[in-house]
Copies of this chain bind each other. A is one copy, B any other.
Amino acid sequence: MNKADLIEEVQKQLGTECSKAHAERAVNALIASIQRGLKKDKEVQIVGFGTFAVKNRKARMGRNPQTNEPIQIKASRTVGFRPGTTLKDSV
């Protein structure tokens, strides 16, 4: 399922009163808001769905799959997601 299909689903649930353009704006706004929330509070919790959290990933040893040469992987940040109980049960 891609973004276009997702927007269509959202527009259906919001009713025909809401245009697809509005649904798209809402989707983009939500995504942007989650990003801003992650940057600010490092965590965004959505009850009944799950929790997004910025995670610190330690430096470690890796390997270049092409040259088979060991390389140093620097510490980095990523975004983790832990599904909530409701979401787990629904899938």
Contact = CB atoms under 8 A, between A and B. Distances in A.
B37 A49 contact: no
A60 interface: no
Main secondary structure of the interface of A (DSSP, over half): helix
A66 interface: no
Interface in A45-88: 45-50, 52, 54, 76-81, 83, 87-88
A79 B13 CA distance: 23
Interface string A28-40: 0111111111111
Interface size class of A (residues with CB under 8 A): 35 or more
A12 B26 CA distance: 11
Interface of A: 1-3, 5-6, 9-10, 13-14, 23, 25-27, 29-41, 43-50, 52, 54, 76-81, 83, 87-88, 90-91
